[in-house]
């Protein structure tokens, strides 16, 4: 499945990895974080968007995303766990590709849950699932990879 880059258009996963690596190599003294977040929009079909963001701390970022659909309606709980699972799956693919080049890269999984609203009861379970997979979890209001970037492309 291809990705979409707001600056490059439709690209393959390999092209995305090459672009991320090139961005990092271009600025060797800067610190980077790799952020992965998924958001969904319910409807007749549930639209899922997974965003991959390379954040050059204090100096901007690049993002890439992929969109997919689930044909049957999902409960809120199921959607939240599906979002986290899709982000974890993407993080595994990114790690596989980039581990040799950037072994010390911080990878964050941003999830669209927070202390307020219907999702507060899921925080511990989802964060534990992500942390046990070896990644750092971020929730609202710090989960902009899901709540701002991925959300923007679900509409």
How far CA 115 is from CA of 27, 63, 84, in Å, comes to: 37, 27, 17
Beta partners for 53? 35, 63
CA neighbor of 89 nearest in space, from 112, 113, 109, 69 = 109
Count CB atoms within 10 A of the CB of residue 89.
13
> What confidence score (pLDDT) does residue 103 get?
65
Question: How many Cβ atoms sit within 10 Å of the Cβ of residue 49?
Answer: 24
Between 83 and 98, the more confident residue is 83
Task: Give the total number of structural domains in the chain.
Answer: 1
Q: Is residue 139 predicted with pLDDT exceeding 90?
A: yes
Residue 69 confidence (pLDDT) above 90: yes
Retrieve residue 33's tokens: 């974080």
The secondary element (H helix, E strand) that includes residue 32 is strand 32-41
pLDDT at 12 over 80: yes
Percent of the chain with pLDDT strictly greater than 70: 97
Would you state the pLDDT for residue 14? 92
Looking at residue 142, which CATH number applies to its domain? 3.30.420
For residue 43, what pLDDT is reported?
Answer: 86
Identify the bridge partners of residue 151 per DSSP, sorted by sequence position: none
Cα distance between residue 119 and residue 39, in whole Å: 13
pLDDT tens-digit map of 25-53: 999 899 899 999 999 999 889 999 999 99
- CA–CA distance, 140 with 155 (Å, rounded to integer): 20
Q: Which residues pair with 42 in a beta bridge?
A: none
Distance of CA 105 to the CA centre of its chain: 15
Mean pLDDT across the stretch 124-151? 94
Q: Using one digit for the tens of pLDDT, what is the confidence trace for 86-132?
A: 999 999 998 888 776 666 778 899 999 998 888 888 999 999 999 99
Residue-number span of the structural domain to which 57 is assigned: 3-152
């Amino acid at each position: 499945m291809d990705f979409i880059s707001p600056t490059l258009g439709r690209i393959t996963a390999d092209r995305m990895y090459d672009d991320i690596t090139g961005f990092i190599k271009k600025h060797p003294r800067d610190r980077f974080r790799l952020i992965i977040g998924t958001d969904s929009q319910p409807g007749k079909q549930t639209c899922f968007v997974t965003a991959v963001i390379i954040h050059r701390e204090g100096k901007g970022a690049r993002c890439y995303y992929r969109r997919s659909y689930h044909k049957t309606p999902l409960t809120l709980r199921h959607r939240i766990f599906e979002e986290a699972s899709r982000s974890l799956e993407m993080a595994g693919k990114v790690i596989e590709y980039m581990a040799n080049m950037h072994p010390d890269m911080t990878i964050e999984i941003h999830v669209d849950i927070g202390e307020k609203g219907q999702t507060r009861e899921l925080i511990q379970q989802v964060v534990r699932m992500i942390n046990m997979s070896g990644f750092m979890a971020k929730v609202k209001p710090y989960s902009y990879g899901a709540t701002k970037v991925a959300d923007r492309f679900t509409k």
